[in-house]
């Protein structure tokens, strides 16, 4: 079935009491997640991501709204839902360190009511894929940070979850382990549905099918990354400039255009050549840039256009803060 919905959040709200104040951490957000897709929850600190993830896992209950996951209702059927989900949480010790990786898998299988025979084959499969086959009998506490993260993923996947939630899966990993985890996460959609949260935007851009962006508890944008890029009018140029001593002051004048929607990054190639990367909120601003360069006799010897980076799109959406109706 195309676009089969496995999770639907409908106007969910989460509030906390802080002293005499009531803080609304999540403000009536709604979204759907489709079977076998990688769906990312993004936003700056304090945007409501963690509260949303905790509600999806039943670790905290929504004050209003409802969540339907795999045909079960949260909070009413939360215990039934947990048998079909897996999670790796940021900053949490997801496994028992005094036990081996294999012992952890069998321990959590027992809690979920599964037999050893049901989890042994998928455990060995993912241990092989993640280069952990020789570490299954090692105590988790003796593993490196990267191996511990892999071990937690193996433990989750051995249970064959219908939905897997990953909160900052690359946090604290070295570069090689990050690439291994990224490859594994990209492959996961063949086996399960993934909901992930990460501050690593380049990683999210490479693996996610769709994403939702939160700000201060509100959902401000949702959709495939390419659609979100199209919704933001950013124009980027790269200029190679030939300069002389008399025209080194051009940069200060261009930087003063920030309030108009101009962002500039300069790389000095040598004493007489600069690479200038420009991000403009309106295309006609390039004429102001060219006038400034002409005034300083800084000659562009090459001009090229650049595609919008996802980082720029994300920052623009956060700074704008308003809901994009076309994407939500």
pLDDT for 136 beyond 80 = yes
Question: Is the per-residue pLDDT at 230 higher than 50?
Answer: yes
Chain-centroid distance, C-alpha 247: 42
Cα–Cα distance, 191 to 188 (Å, whole number): 5
Domain ranges of the chain: 5-230, 233-307
pLDDT the model gives residue 206: 92
Check if CATH label 1.10.240.10 holds for domain 5-230. no
Confidence category of residue 326, pLDDT binned at 50, 70, 90:
very low
Compute the distance between CA of residue 268 and CA of residue 90 in angstroms, rounded to an integer: 39
* pLDDT higher than 50, residue 258: yes
The C-alpha atoms of residue 232 and residue 221 are separated, in whole angstroms, by 11
Backbone phi and psi for residue 26, each to the nearest 5 degrees, phi listed first: -130, 125
Q: pLDDT for 39-90, tens place per residue?
A: 999 999 999 999 999 999 988 999 999 999 999 998 788 888 888 999 998 8
Tell me which of 3.60.140.10, 3.40.50.970, 3.40.309.10, 3.30.70.1150 is the CATH number of domain 233-307.
3.30.70.1150
pLDDT-derived band at 248 (thresholds 50, 70, 90) equals low
């Amino acid at each position: 079935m195309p676009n089969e919905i496995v999770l639907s959040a409908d106007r969910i709200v989460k509030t906390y009491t802080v002293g005499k104040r009531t803080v609304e951490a999540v403000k009536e957000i709604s979204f759907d997640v489709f079977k076998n897709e990688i769906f990312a929850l993004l936003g700056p600190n304090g945007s409501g991501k963690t509260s949303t993830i905790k509600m999806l896992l039943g670790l905290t209950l929504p004050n209003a709204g409802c969540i339907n996951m795999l045909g079960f209702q949260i909070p009413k059927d939360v215990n039934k839902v947990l048998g079909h989900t897996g999670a790796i949480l940021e900053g949490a010790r997801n496994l028992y360190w005094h036990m081996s990786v294999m012992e952890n898998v069998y321990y959590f299988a027992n809690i979920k009511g599964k037999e050893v025979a049901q989890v042994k084959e998928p455990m060995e499969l993912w241990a092989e894929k993640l280069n952990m086959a020789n570490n299954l009998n090692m105590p988790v506490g003796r593993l490196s940070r990267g191996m511990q993260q892999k071990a937690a993923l193996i433990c989750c996947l051995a249970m064959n979850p219908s939905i897997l939630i990953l909160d900052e899966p690359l946090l604290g990993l070295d570069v090689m382990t990050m690439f291994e985890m990224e490859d594994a996460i990209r492959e996961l959609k063949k086996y399960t549905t993934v909901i992930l949260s990460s501050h690593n935007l380049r990683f999210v851009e490479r693996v996610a099918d769709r994403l939702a962006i939160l700000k201060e508890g509100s959902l401000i944008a949702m959709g495939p990354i390419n659609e979100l890029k199209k919704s933001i009018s950013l124009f980027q140029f790269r200029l190679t400039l030939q300069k002389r001593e008399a025209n080194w002051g051009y940069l200060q004048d261009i930087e003063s255009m920030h309030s108009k929607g101009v962002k500039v990054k300069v790389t000095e190639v040598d004493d007489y050549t600069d690479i200038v990367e420009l991000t403009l909120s309106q295309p006609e601003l390039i004429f102001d840039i060219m006038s400034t360069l002409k005034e300083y006799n800084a000659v562009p010897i090459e001009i090229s256009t650049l595609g919008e980076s996802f980082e720029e799109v994300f920052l623009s959406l956060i700074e704008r803060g308003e809901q994009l109706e076309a994407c939500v």
